[in-house]
C-alpha cells in the first residue's frame, strides 16, 4: 500500500515537475519577498471578491487611490504631521525609557522608584490613554504625542532594564584593570553590548508609536494619516481609506529596510564572522 501511494506520488511529481521547475518558479523560490507580495495580492483579491469590492476594494483600485492621494497637494502635510508626532513621541519615550531602564538596572533605589510606573503603564490599555488625553487636551498635536509616550515608555524601560542588567561585568572589570576611562568604556563596551536592546526598544517604540499616534489622530485629530483614514471612511471613500493605510505601511517598511536593517547589519558585523570549526 505504501509502495503504491509512493508510486502514485512520484507519478504525480513527474507529471508536474516540468511546471514546478520552470525558470520562473525557480527564480521565485530564490526571492521570498516577491512571493510574499504575490501571496498578499492573491489573498487580497480573493477577499475583495468575497466582499464584493465594497468594504475591501480590489488591489488595483487601492493602488489607483494611492496614486491619486500621492499626487494631491496635501499628502505631505498629513504624512509630516503624523511623522512629527511619532518622532517627537519616540525620542521623548527613548529618553524616559533609557533613564528609567538604566536606573532600575543599576540600583535598587531606581527599581523601587520606577517599577510602579512601569507596572501601571503596562496595565492601562492604549485606547484608554488616547481617550484620557483627548478629554484633557482636546483636538491637537499633544494628544497623539502624549498617548504614544504613555503607551511606549513602560515597555521601552522594561527592555532597557533587562538589557543593561545583562551587561557582562567581566569586561568592565577587565577595562578597570587596564585603567580604561569611563568614556572609552561606554563607547567601546557598554554601547555595543546594549545595541541589541537599543534596536529592540527602538523598533518596538516606533512600531507602537505609529499605531498609537494614528489611533489618537482618529480620536482627536484635525490632520495626519489617522485623521485622513477616518475622514475618507466617513465619506465612504473606501479605496482612499485603504490608500492611506498603504502609504502608512509603505513608510513603516521603508524605515525598517532603509534605516533599521542597514544599521543593524553594521552593528552586528562581528556576528557574521565565520564560527570556528575545529575538529572535535
Partner 1 sequence: MQKSNSKIESDLGTRGATGIKTHSLTKEFEVDEGTEVVFEDVNINIEPGSFVSLVGRSGSGKSTLLNILSGILEPTSGRIEYDVDDPEIGHVFQSPRLLPWDTCLENIEYVHEDNSNYSDDIAKKHLDMVGLSDHYDKYPSGLSGGQKQRVGIARAFSIDPEVLLMDEPFSNLDEITAEELRKELAELWENFNKTIVFVTHNITEAIQLSDRILMIGEGEIYADIEVPIDRPRRVEDNEFIEFQTKAIKQFRSVDE
Contact residue for partner 1 among 7, 184, 222, 235 (CB under 8 A): 184
**Residue of 106, 207, 210, 192 lying closest to 156 (CA atoms):** 207
Rounded distance, CA 99 to CA 101, Å? 6
Q: Is residue 147 within 8 Å of residue 129, measured between CB atoms?
A: yes
Q: How far is the CB of 265 from partner 1 (least distance, A)?
A: 13
179 or 234, CB closer to partner 1?
179
CB nearer to partner 1: pick between 138 and 262: 262
C-alpha cell at 57: 476594494
CB of 262 to partner 1, least distance (A): 17
CB 31 within 8 A of CB 22: no
Task: For 93-124, give the DSSP string.
Answer: HHHHHHHHHHHHHH-HHHHHHHHHHHHHHHHS
* Candidate residues 71, 179, 234, 236; the one interacting with partner 1 per rule CB under 8 A: 179
Strand ranges inside 72-144, DSSP E: none
| Count of C-beta atoms within a 10 Å radius of residue 201 | 24
Q: Pick the stretch among 50-58, 59-67, 167-175, 200-208 that binds partner 1 (CB under 8 A).
A: 167-175
Q: Which of 189, 251, 252, 255 binds partner 1 (CB under 8 A)?
A: 189
Residue choice 162, 171, 203, 211 for contact with partner 1 (CB under 8 A): 171
Of 71 and 277, the one with the shorter C-beta distance to partner 1 is 277
Give phi and psi for 179, each to the nearest 5.
Answer: 55, 45
| Residue count, binding to partner 1 (CB under 8 A) | 23
- Would you count residue 236 as binding partner 1 (CB under 8 A)? no
Instruction: Report whether 100 contacts 155 (CB < 8 A).
Output: no
User: Which of 14/177 has CB closer to partner 1?
Assistant: 177
Minimum Å gap between C-beta 273 and partner 1 is 4
Instruction: Pick the piece of the chain touching partner 1 (CB under 8 A) from 16-24, 31-39, 151-159, 176-184.
Output: 176-184
Q: In whole angstroms, what is the distance from residue 196 CA to residue 135 CA?
A: 38
Q: Binders of partner 1 among 247-276, rule CB under 8 A? A: 267, 269-271, 273-276
Q: In b/e form, how buried is each residue of 94-120, taking b as 16+ CB within 10 angstroms?
A: bebbbebbbbbbeeeebeeebbeebee
Pick 36 or 176: Cβ nearer partner 1: 176
d(CA 218, CA 230): 6
Q: Which of 19, 116, 170, 234 binds partner 1 (CB under 8 A)?
A: 170
Residue ranges that bind partner 1, judged by CB under 8 A: 170-171, 173-174, 176-181, 184, 188-189, 192, 267, 269-271, 273-276, 278
Amino acid at each position: 500500500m505504501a509502495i503504491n501511494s509512493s508510486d502514485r506520488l512520484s507519478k504525480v511529481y513527474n507529471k508536474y515537475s516540468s511546471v514546478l521547475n520552470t525558470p520562473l518558479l525557480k527564480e521565485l523560490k530564490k526571492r521570498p519577498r516577491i512571493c510574499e507580495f504575490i501571496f498578499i495580492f492573491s489573498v487580497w483579491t480573493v477577499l475583495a471578491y468575497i466582499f464584493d469590492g465594497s468594504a475591501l476594494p480590489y488591489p488595483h483600485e487601492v493602488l489607483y487611490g494611492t496614486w491619486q492621494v500621492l499626487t494631491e497637494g496635501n499628502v505631505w502635510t498629513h504624512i509630516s504631521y503624523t511623522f512629527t508626532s511619532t518622532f517627537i513621541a519616540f525620542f521623548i519615550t527613548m529618553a524616559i525609557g533609557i533613564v528609567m531602564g538604566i536606573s532600575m538596572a543599576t540600583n535598587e533605589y531606581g527599581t523601587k522608584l520606577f517599577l510602579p510606573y512601569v507596572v501601571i503603564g503596562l496595565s492601562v490599555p492604549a485606547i484608554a490613554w488616547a481617550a484620557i488625553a483627548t478629554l484633557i487636551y482636546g483636538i491637537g498635536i499633544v494628544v497623539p504625542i502624549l498617548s504614544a509616550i504613555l503607551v511606549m515608555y513602560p515597555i521601552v524601560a522594561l527592555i532597557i532594564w533587562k538589557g543593561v542588567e545583562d551587561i557582562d561585568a567581566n569586561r568592565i572589570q577587565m577595562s578597570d584593570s587596564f585603567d580604561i576611562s569611563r568614556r572609552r568604556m561606554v563607547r567601546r563596551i557598554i554601547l555595543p553590548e546594549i545595541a541589541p536592546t537599543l534596536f529592540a526598544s527602538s523598533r518596538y517604540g516606533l512600531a507602537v508609536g505609529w499605531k498609537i499616534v494614528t489611533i489618537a489622530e482618529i480620536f482627536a485629530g484635525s490632520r495626519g494619516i489617522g485623521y485622513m483614514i477616518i475622514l475618507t471612511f466617513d465619506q465612504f471613500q473606501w479605496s482612499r481609506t485603504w490608500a492611506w493605510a498603504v502609504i502608512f505601511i509603505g513608510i513603516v517598511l521603508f524605515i525598517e529596510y532603509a534605516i533599521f536593517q542597514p544599521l543593524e547589519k553594521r552593528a552586528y558585523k562581528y556576528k557574521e564572522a565565520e564560527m570556528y570549526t575545529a575538529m572535535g
